[in-house]
Structure 1
Amino acid sequence: MYIHGSIDFTNLNSDNHRECTMTLHRDDLTAYLTDFLQPDTFKDYCPNGLQVAGKSDIRRIVTGVTASQRLIDEAIERQADAIVVHHGYFWKGEPSPVTGIKRNRLAALLAHDINLYAYHLPLDAHPEVGNNVQLAREMGWEITGEIEGTLALMGRTSGPETGASLRTALIDAMEFDVIHVGENEDEIETIAWCTGAAHSFLQQAIDAGVDAFVSGEINEPTVHLARESGVHYYAAGHHATERGGPEALGRHLAQRFGVSVEFIDLPIPV
């Protein structure tokens, strides 16, 4: 189960009581994340990688889902040298002027010389630390394949489930008031999922013949499509379903480089 708050991965080093003293150069971290997450292989809605350059030497990293002002403030309080998130800045179609909220966020990062890294689709799809893989591990689902042309994975539940029991399991794991469209007593064995705002993949999941599809969000047409197709739909929270990737990436970086990495969870109600 996810625990709201923060998780410090520093003590994943061999000496569980040793204060982390390792230093990582920004260019080395950038090169490693590029090689590990392969952002150039994705056609994305934002730039992936180093979005805001800060100090060259990195000892403390904060990871989170979204680079909100609140996360930046938490990173400043912890004297972090870098922030690594799933949702960063500079999305396609957003206004270009650096004013208002955008100015405030960038000003805080620059004033404290904090690097900001963001990985959107690469962190959804990664086979080791990706959001989709982490959701499967959290739920105990067996991965059997993927839905062609999407980032969605397919698999089987860890044991017998009904429409109602799967919702309960998701609520317990995600700590979110999951929306379920479908009959509570129906049996569910096969499942597909894609974290975040992937409700548009429901038709592909229907075509793949699964019993249920899980994502983070839902809209009005999705309700009708699920009801009329008979495929169960679960909206388990955009933020809630995408905590796994940043948290797992943080663990990986702590183990790989010995730097201090802390995952900070700032839940939202959608």
Structure 2
Amino acid sequence: MNNQELENIINKELSSSKYQDSCPNGLQVEGQFQIKKIITGVTACQKFLNVAVKCKADTVIVHHGFFWKNDPLVIKGLYRKRFKTVLCNDINLYCWHMPLDNHKKLGNNIQIAKKLDISIQGEIIPFLWWGYFKKPISYNALKYKIFTKFNRMPFYYSANKIPIIKKIAWCSGKGQSFIHAAACFGVDAFLTGEISEETIHFIREYKLHFFSAGHHATEKYGVEALGNWLSNEYCLNVKFVNIENPI
């Protein structure tokens, strides 16, 4: 398979053209034409790129790539080093951001539901999903489940005196601003990746159970699922590399 074919296949599967994103989706940096070995991961940080070079990968697929709207317009410092690593090793760098958050089979939000055994009911608004636990769960049991499935103890805060959670809303990554829509929809709990100072006040006033499971932790399974799909559907050599991040 060549690099253009790979981009077309994934763009079609993820319906990338539907999204107005804060970075370009698809092939961000062109490398060698023929693709033989793919490394997937969450973020195109230097440590991840070094692993790709060591593994002699010709292609990397990430959720957080280059060319963000708020990035510097000059390439120097750590940005120069990252670009140099990719270009000097003739590596194709692909990124899918929003399309990989919300895909109805491979997306980060769907993977969260699968990991936590949530019966998915649908979206409240785009990127904010809701569902029921197949069996109502205590907040302590859910904390432990998140710990075992995502390999990190979540930040938990609550103003809900009822310890049992039945109905939950969630959004991967930096989804704390969705707390208003979740609360107005009428859920017992809200789960996302990050938390801000004002979130605590909202939790108190909405009387919710709140879980912050980590931006990285809630967004690592989508790109892994995408890699597994490519391997199964197209017999490509794909390996997921997790560069751990406590945030």
The equivalent position to 1:104 in structure 2, one of 81, 94, 118, is: 81
Superposed counterparts of 1:105-124, under 5 Å: 105-124=82-101
Return the TM-score normalized by structure 1. 0.89
The equivalent position to 1:179 in structure 2, one of 146, 155, 166, is: 155
Shift in Å at residue 139 of structure 1? Answer: 1.0
What do residues 50-69 of structure 1 show as CA deviations (whole Å, max 9, x unaligned)? 00000000010000000100
Superposed counterparts of 1:68-217, under 5 Å: 68-148=45-125, 150-182=126-158, 186-217=163-194
Shift in Å at residue 255 of structure 1? Answer: 1.1
- Separation in 1 of the partners of 2:161 and 2:51? 41
**Matched residues, number:** 246
Identity among equivalent pairs (%):
39
- 1:173 is paired with a residue whose SS is helix
- 1:154 is paired with a residue whose SS is strand
Higher relative contact order structure (alpha carbons within 8 Å, sequence separation ≥ 6) = 1
1:14 counterpart residue number: none
Residue ranges of structure 2 left out of the alignment (5+ in a row)? none
Runs of 4+ in 1 over 3 A off after TM superposition: none
- Separation in 2 of the partners of 1:130 and 1:206? 23
What do residues 145-166 of structure 1 show as CA deviations (whole Å, max 9, x unaligned)? 1112x30110011312122221
1:234 counterpart residue number: 211
Kindly report the root-mean-square deviation, in angstroms, between the aligned alpha carbons of the 2 structures.
1.1
- 1:56 is paired with a residue whose SS is coil
- Separation in 1 of the partners of 2:176 and 2:139? 18
Equivalent pair of 1:163/1:185 in contact (CA under 8 Å): no
Structure 1 position 258 matched with structure 2 position 235: yes
Shift in Å at residue 106 of structure 1? Answer: 0.6
Q: Which amino acid aligns with 1:57?
A: Q
What do residues 165-189 of structure 1 show as CA deviations (whole Å, max 9, x unaligned)? 2111111111112011115862110
- Separation in 2 of the partners of 1:172 and 1:158? 18
- Separation in 2 of the partners of 1:93 and 1:242? 21
- 1:247 is paired with a residue whose SS is helix
Structure 1 position 268 matched with structure 2 position 242: no
Shift in Å at residue 132 of structure 1? Answer: 0.3
- Separation in 1 of the partners of 2:58 and 2:32? 7
What do residues 26-80 of structure 1 show as CA deviations (whole Å, max 9, x unaligned)? 1110111111111110111111110000000001000000010011010111111
- 1:43 is paired with a residue whose SS is coil
- Separation in 2 of the partners of 1:232 and 1:92? 33
Equivalent pair of 2:144/2:153 in contact (CA under 8 Å): no
Q: Which amino acid aligns with 1:224?
A: H
